[in-house]
Amino acid sequence: MAKHYVAVDLGASSGRVMVGTLDEGKLTLKEMNRFWNGPTEIDGTLYWDIVHLFRNIKEGIALAQQEYGDSLSSLGIDTWGVDFGLLDSNGKLLGNPINYRDTRTVGMFEKVFEKVPKEDVFAASGIQFMELNTLYQMMALSLSDSVEYKEADKMLFIPDLLNYWLTGEMKAERTFASTSQFYNPVTKDWAYDMLEKLGIRTDLFAELTDPGTVIGDMEGLPVVAVASHDTASAFAAVPVAEGEQSAFLSSGTWSLLGAELDEPVINAEAHDANFTNEVGVCDSIRFLKNLSGFWILQELKRAWKEEGNDYSWPDMDVMADAVEPLQFFFDPADPVFATPGDMQARIQEYCKKTGQSIPEKPGEFIQACYENLSLLYADTFNTIERLSGKKLDTLRIVGGGSSCVAINQGSANALNRNVITGPKEATAIGNLITQMLAMGDIQSLEEGRAIVARSFADESGTFEPKSIEAWKDALAKWRAICR
């Protein structure tokens, strides 16, 4: 008998509600609705429109119920990381959640490290240093004498907030909590000592719960705390074969590149390389680095559209193909590219400062983004091998970005390893796999990944290295300029 599950999957630029159907060992997906997501600026502050998101989520669930009725088994929500809402003692939201790209965290590194040394923050959390992390958002609230912060009774991360609105239950799902930089992956609890030294309130936290736990119900439909950080769900869906040693890349607005480990790697080398130890499904650790993904390209595309040039992604691929390769080198993960703005000017300034020729045509910017992401992935892949002690055979790319042939081939070239792609809807699929585990319909993550391999074989592609010497030289030049 077929089983049906509802996956709510919210990325940093769009959201969707999907139904996954498991029938005779194969999984199929059907999209119920898809909707815009993104920051809205009001008086210089970037907000998420959480009410808009919840309304569209409810509409998608209603469409699923209309089509599948009582045959729906469960529901789960995953979202982007680090952001949260504050609630009062009556459970009412005190204000729209603020977007992680808001500038309120500027300067918070210094404020935190004045009270707790950087090395001690890493020892307590194992998390990569990014000013957008929840730790620095909370520090900004603490130092700004925020009324909402003072009046709050609970802090709920975005998926936990949405789950609360559906079920009335306040929980903190562990994979998401681990992105905050105030969760300790060794003790598997909040990093209370560090937070108390920083003067950050610890009474706001909800009870931690593991991915794959039924936390409540929405009108009789079980709601599962899935791997609610979208990267944790994406990693769960990577269809690795038994014995395969692969790095995983979840490719979208962000690029999350890492390996699945049994234990966190928290040492001076991991600190210096700015790696992160986030929790995965089945008590695993996602040892990875958060890197810029399609963000720069999305900003370029937006700016060109405002100028009257609405290039499609296929248009951009054609424009890039017409450009001489490996001309311009920059680091897509440099903080200068982290905020919205004029990416053309920023890339040009980067090239000018590093003594390179300067891109001028759209195709040059596009190809430079594709190539520099590939080089960034190769550099990070090599660091993962060194820090984890694992020899990695391949790079597995999942998510929407796995459709980009130029980056897939460039990554294979730069790595001198095979790159295997698919599935595209990895976050939704991982969400569904965790629901299957929670409902007892599969018995292990390995069983779930085997289902993915069978079900989405037509999305899988293998890219073998080409032009190896040219890309080896390019990687050396990239490191000389960017590192």
Structure tokens at 4: 């049906």
Shared domain for 217 and 242, answered yes or no, is: no
Shared domain for 222 and 254, answered yes or no, is: no
pLDDT tens digit sequence for 438-481: 999 999 999 999 999 999 999 999 999 999 999 999 999 999 99
Look at residue 241 in the predicted model and tell me its pLDDT.
Answer: 85
Look at residue 145 in the predicted model and tell me its pLDDT.
Answer: 86
Choose one of 182, 198, 230: the last residue of a domain.
Answer: 230
Query: How many whole angstroms separate alpha carbon 247 and alpha carbon 289?
Result: 11
290: left (phi over 0), alpha (psi -120 to 50) or beta: beta
Q: How confident is the model at residue 121 (pLDDT cuts 50, 70, 90)?
A: very high
**pLDDT score of 45 more than 90:** yes
> How far from the centroid of its chain's Cα atoms is residue 38's Cα?
15
Shared domain for 182 and 266, answered yes or no, is: no
pLDDT tens digit sequence for 275-329: 999 999 999 999 999 998 999 999 999 999 999 999 999 999 999 999 999 999 9
Q: How confident is the model at residue 117 (pLDDT cuts 50, 70, 90)?
A: very high
If one counts the domains in the chain, the total is 2
List b or e across 23-37, with b for residues whose CB sees 16 or more CB atoms inside 10 angstroms.
eeeebebeebbebeb
Look at residue 36 in the predicted model and tell me its pLDDT.
Answer: 95
The CATH number given to whatever domain includes residue 188 is: 3.30.420.40
Give me the catalytic one of 230, 315, 458, 473: 230
Q: Residue 315 contacts by C-beta under 8 Å, 6 or more apart in sequence?
A: none
Shared domain for 223 and 280, answered yes or no, is: no
Choose one of 196, 212, 230: the last residue of a domain.
Answer: 230
The closest of 260, 211, 284, 265 to 435, measured between CA atoms, is: 211
**pLDDT score of 243 more than 90:** no
**pLDDT score of 332 more than 90:** yes
Structure tokens at 464: 């073998």
Q: Please provide the average confidence, as pLDDT, over all residues in the chain.
A: 96
**pLDDT score of 242 more than 90:** no
Q: What is the mean pLDDT of residues 75-84?
A: 97
Query: How many whole angstroms separate alpha carbon 173 and alpha carbon 445?
Result: 18
Structure tokens at 417: 């390893």
Shared domain for 339 and 301, answered yes or no, is: yes
Shared domain for 273 and 378, answered yes or no, is: yes
pLDDT tens digit sequence for 350-398: 999 999 999 999 999 999 999 999 999 999 999 999 999 999 999 999 9
Q: Is 154 domain-assigned?
A: yes
Q: What is the mean pLDDT of residues 206-211?
A: 98
What is the residue range of 129's domain? Answer: 3-230
pLDDT tens digit sequence for 245-290: 999 999 988 899 999 999 999 999 999 999 999 999 999 999 999 9
**pLDDT score of 184 more than 90:** yes
Q: Is 272 domain-assigned?
A: yes
Query: How many whole angstroms separate alpha carbon 67 and alpha carbon 58?
Result: 14
Shared domain for 104 and 40, answered yes or no, is: yes
Is 88 a catalytic site residue? no
Q: What torsion do the CA atoms of 378, 383, 386, 387 make, to the nearest 10 degrees?
A: -150
Look at residue 12 in the predicted model and tell me its pLDDT.
Answer: 84
